[in-house]
Structure 1
Amino acid sequence: MSEERTPGFDTLAIHAGAQPDASTGARATPIYQTTSFVFDDVDHAAALFNLETFGNIYTRIMNPTQAVLEERMAALEGGTAALAVASGHAAQAVVLHTLMEPGAEFVAGRQLYGGSINQFGEAFKKFDWHVKWADTTNAESFRAAITPKTKAIFVESVANPGGIITDIEAVAAVAKEAGVPLIVDNTLATPYLLKPKDYGADIIVHSLTKYLGGHGNSIGGMIVDCGTFDWMASGRYPSISAPCESYHGMVLGETFGNFAFAIAARVLGLRDLGPAISPMNAFLILTGIETLPLRMQRHCDNALAVAEWLTSHDKVSWVNYAGLPDNQFYQMARRYCPKGAGGVFTFGLKGGYEAGIALVGKVQLFSHLANIGDTRSLIIHPASTTHRQLADDARARAGAGDDVVRLSVGLEDVGDIIADLDQALEAV
């Protein structure tokens, strides 16, 4: 491709980061199923351990299969560098480990995946990291929650399961005013529908397990450094701006510039916490990303058709899908996700909690499981599963009330998807 032409998204999804294998000519990225890598000599080994040169040491820190995945995701999100880890939860933990100190706070929109609410509100307490909750639909609520201890703001681009389309630009303005980075979980949208960097995000995280892998066969997480935050400006982020004892006093922010956060997350977070992605999972997710544009458009088209059908069903009290013109987030979706509002949405059953439990037991084509973004259509009743660890009021605030059913609409014939829901609803 000529130097004058910038590759399109579909091309990057297939080619970014990948070259034919130098030694064998293999066109597909090989699975480098090895724990460690041979050094050229002692000087080469020393240079690698001193961060004086880039290369492979040990698969816990990096691996050639993982490196292709990282380059591809950085290209798709428009970032300067990326880091693949074992899961979406691992990505969040490594990001906060890089930013936080004991006693520090971060502000998060409360409309989040239930596992993230639990991780932020409970598990992180053991590190003496503390979350303050804001309302994702109100950017001013983030400003009100900020204190001198605040180190970051965290939101989901499209909230799971509530379907809220976050006004990223408005929240980014609050983060910039406060001098803290904005972290955006872009799992539900993927960079095909939305690039948070374009609206002010500084760090992007993903559960690769969902749409990016897309086939329900591998777990992984991703951290993308947008290269937009000045880590040296305030001294509030010593992992990046202060001399690092692990590397003989090197200041990572000075040495690595606009990808210093990604380096710090790798050599301080991933190195010491250890949530490494396996080469096999990296390979499977890479393969999934190659078809991401095609799959995401079909997910969106099918989800819209299913949502429209559900709005007229007599056992359904409401449908919350931002692709519907009467939805409160419709205009936000048109602004941030003009290609489609995604493949996940919720609806309410008139029969409440018991009806939700009954419905998930009656479907045949849909799979009842705790995942989203699969090629297959998936269904879950969050109040009895993914969000059951939360108190009733917390579940309601997260968009997972008793009557809520979440659908992840797959790639099957949309007529078959609707027919399955129809027979299951009639049986409730």
Structure 2
Amino acid sequence: MTDAPKYGFDTLQIHAGARPDPATGARQTPIYQTTAYVFRDADHAAALFNLQEVGFIYSRLTNPTVAVLQERMATLEGGVGAVCCSSGHAAQIMALFPLMAPGRNVVVSTRLYGGTVTQFSQTIKRFGWSAKFVDFDDTDAVKAAIDDDTRAVFCESIANPGGYITDLDAISAIADDAGLPLIVDNTSATPYLCRPIEHGATLVVHSLTKYLTGNGTVTGGAIIDSGRFDWSASDKFPSLSAPEPAYHGLKFHETFGPLAFTFHGIAVGLRDLGMTMNPQGAHYTLMGIETLSLRMERHVANAIKVANWLEKDDRVGTVTYAGLASSPYNDRVAKICPKGAGGLFTFSMKGGYDACVKLVNSLEIFSHVANLGDTRSLIIHSASTTHRQLTPEQQEAAGAGPDVVRISIGIEDADDLIADLDQALAKATA
């Protein structure tokens, strides 16, 4: 695959980054289950450790199976490089790691996965970092939140749990004016539905655990580098623009240009944080990505049908799916997610918290799990689980109030999913 841009998405999701194994001719990417790699000689080893040559040293840093996944993710997202790691949460920390320092802050959307809200509002404080939570529909508030200590802007393309679509073009314009990178979590959309880099994102992060693997078997994360940000335009990002003591004064941006962030993510991020993706996990994810477009088309088609049915049901309050004509975010679908609004959304129960619990307990096809993006349809009551650590105000802001359930629509027969919801709603409201 030497001229990737000429190929369509369906072809790239199968072939990008993968080549027949040179030793055996194996067509599927092998699982290179090894810790270390034999150097050709002492000079070869020294060149690798000095970042003068690209190759494999130790599997905390680089692994051939993971390398194929990194190239595939970069290709599908339209970036110059990618770093894969152990989980989506690891990807978020690794994305911020070269940008932040004690006393610095990141401006983030209020509409985020509950675990991300906790990570940003609580955990990153231990690094001396802080997060400012803002409603990203209020662009004036986003601008006002940015100050001299801000080092990044962060949002989700399709927000979990409500399925809200962010106006990435508007947010990226604000970040550009401030000279800051925009980091977009594209987990819920995948590069098939949304390509944030085309809307101005600097970095794209993923939980590979979800739609990209698609079968609920492994955890993984990825950071994709657009290669478009000028890390040397100011003195805000010394990790990338200033001399790096651990590499004898090497300047990552000066040396590696558009690939500066990618090389730093491996040579420093994975080296010191150790958030390594295992090769077997990478293998499962590669196999999942081969059918990504086919699955996303079915996820979207099923979600539209189920959401329309729910919206007309008297037992249901509101339905947040952006693919509905009634959604305030419907006008963003064509611009941000032209192939569909995804398979994730919420709906509220008129019976409140108790009715939500009864609904979850009464479903037969839907699985009650803390995951999304599976081929199977999934449901969870966010207020009592994924968003439980948040305050009631944070839950409401994230779209995860006590009367709300989140559903991740799978690729089963849509009529069967509707029938399952119908019988569970009957029991929940009896």
TM-score (norm 1): 0.99
Partner of 1:419: 419
**1:186-225 → structure 2 map (5 Å cutoff):** 186-225=186-225
Moved more, 331-340 or 17-26: 331-340
- Does the residue aligned with 2:335 lie in a helix, a strand or coil? helix
Q: Which residue of 1 aligns with 2:264?
A: 264
Tell me what 1:281 maps to.
281
Q: Give the aligned partner of residue 359 of structure 2.
A: 359
Equivalence for 1:397: 397
Structure 2 counterpart of 1:262, one-letter code? T
SS where residue 267 of structure 1 aligns?
helix
CA distance in 1, matches of 2:208, 2:141: 30
1:256-405 matches, within 5 Å, as 256-405=256-405
| 2:137 counterpart of 1:137 | yes
**Which residue identity does 1:253 align to in structure 2?**
H
The aligned amino acid for 1:296 is M
Unpaired runs of 5+ in structure 2? none
Q: What CA distance in whole angstroms lies between the structure 2 residues aligned with 1:135 and 1:68?
A: 37
Map of 1:229 onto structure 2: 229
For residues 225 and 144 of structure 2, the distance between their equivalents in structure 1, rounded to whole angstroms, comes to 26
Secondary structure at the counterpart of residue 97 of structure 2: helix
Q: Deviations over 1:160-195 (max 9, x none)?
A: 012211000000010001001000000001010010
- Say which SS state the counterpart of residue 272 (structure 1) adopts: helix
Q: Does residue 170 of the first structure (1) align with residue 170 of the second (2)? A: yes
- Match of 2:410, as an amino acid? G
Establish whether residue 249 from structure 1 lines up as the match of residue 237 from structure 2: no
Q: Write out per-residue CA displacement over residues 21-74 of structure 1, whole angstroms, 9 at most, x where no aligned residue.
A: 000000000000011111111000000000000000111111000000000000
Take 2:139 and 2:373, find their aligned partners in 1: how far apart are those partners? 28
Shift in alpha-carbon separation, 1:2–1:131, aligned structure 2, 3 A: closer
Indicate the residue corresponding to 2:104 in structure 1: 104
Query: Which deviates the most, 2-11 or 228-237?
Result: 2-11
- Offset at 1:95? 1.0
Shift of 1:249: 0.6
Please state how far the C-alpha of 1:139 moved relative to its aligned partner. Answer: 2.1
Q: Deviations over 1:93-122 (max 9, x none)?
A: 111111101111110011100000000010
The Cα of 1:334 is off from its aligned counterpart by 2.0
Q: CA deviation at 1:89?
A: 0.2
- Supply the AA of the counterpart residue of 1:261: F
The residue aligned with 1:82 is 82
SS in structure 1 opposite 2:98?
Answer: helix
2:4 and 2:16 in contact (8 A); partners too: no
Q: 1:2 to 1:370 in 2, by over 3 A?
A: closer
Across the aligned residues of Structure 1 and Structure 2, the Cα RMSD in angstroms comes to 1.1
Aligned partners of 2:33, 2:244: CA distance in 1, in Å?
31
**Are 1:31 and 1:283, in contact at CA under 8 Å, matched by a contact in 2?**
yes
What's the counterpart of residue 62 of structure 1?
Answer: 62
> Contact 1:304–1:324 (CA<8 Å) still a contact in 2?
yes
Alignment partners' CA distance in 1, 2:4 and 2:101: 45
1:5–1:170: structure 2 CA closer, same or farther, 3 Å change rule?
A: closer
What is the identity, as a one-letter code, of the residue corresponding to 1:239? S
Aligned partners of 1:306, 1:235: CA distance in 2, in Å?
Answer: 50
DSSP 3-state at the match of 2:277: coil
1:141-172, Cα deviation, whole Å (9 max, x unpaired)? 21110010000000100110122110000000
1:245-276 CA distances to partner (integer Å, 9 max, x unpaired)?
11111001111000101111111111101010
Question: What stretches of structure 1 of length at least 5 have no aligned partner?
Answer: none
The CA distance in 2 between the partners of 1:396 and 1:114, in whole Å, is: 11
Q: Which moved further from structure 2: 133-142 or 269-278?
A: 133-142
CA contact (8 A) 1:241 1:253 kept: yes
* 8 Å contact kept, 1:165–1:332: yes
Q: Distance in 2 between matches of 1:98 and 1:294?
A: 36
What is the identity, as a one-letter code, of the residue corresponding to 1:305?
K
Partners of 2:362 and 2:339 in 1: how far apart?
Answer: 32
State the one-letter code of the partner of 2:277. I
Show structure 1 runs of 4+ deviating over 3 A.
Answer: 1-5
2:316–2:349: 8 Å Cα contact kept in structure 1? yes
Letter of the aligned partner of 1:232 in structure 2?
Answer: S
3-state DSSP class of the match of 2:206? strand
Asked if the contact 1:137/1:164 (under 8 Å) is kept, the reply is no
| 2:162–2:344 contact (8 Å) kept in structure 1 | no
Where does residue 238 of structure 2 map in the other structure? 238
Could you tell me how far 1:4 is from its partner in structure 2? Answer: 10
SS at match of 1:99: coil
TM-score (norm 2): 0.98
Letter in 2 for 1:94: M
Q: For 2:265 and 2:93, how far apart are their aligned partners in 1?
A: 10
**Separation (CA, whole Å) in 2 of partners of 1:5 and 1:15:** 12
Q: Distance in 2 between matches of 1:298 and 1:328?
A: 23
SS of residue matched to 1:340: coil
Separation (CA, whole Å) in 2 of partners of 1:121 and 1:263: 28
The verdict on how the C-alpha distance between 1:44 and 1:4 changes in structure 2, with shifts beyond 3 A counting, is closer
Instruction: Give the residue type in structure 2 aligned to 1:16.
Output: A
User: What is the count of residue pairs matched by the alignment?
Assistant: 428
**Does the C-alpha gap of structure 1 residues 5 and 119 become closer, same or farther in structure 2, counting only changes over 3 Å?**
closer
CA–CA separation in structure 2 for the residues paired with 1:323 and 1:188: 14
Counterpart for residue 35 of structure 1: 35
Query: Which deviations, in whole Å up to 9, do the C-alpha atoms of 1:360-397 show, x marking residues without a partner?
Result: 10001000000000000000000010001101011000
Over 3 Å counting, the alpha-carbon distance change for 1:241 and 1:58 in structure 2 is: same
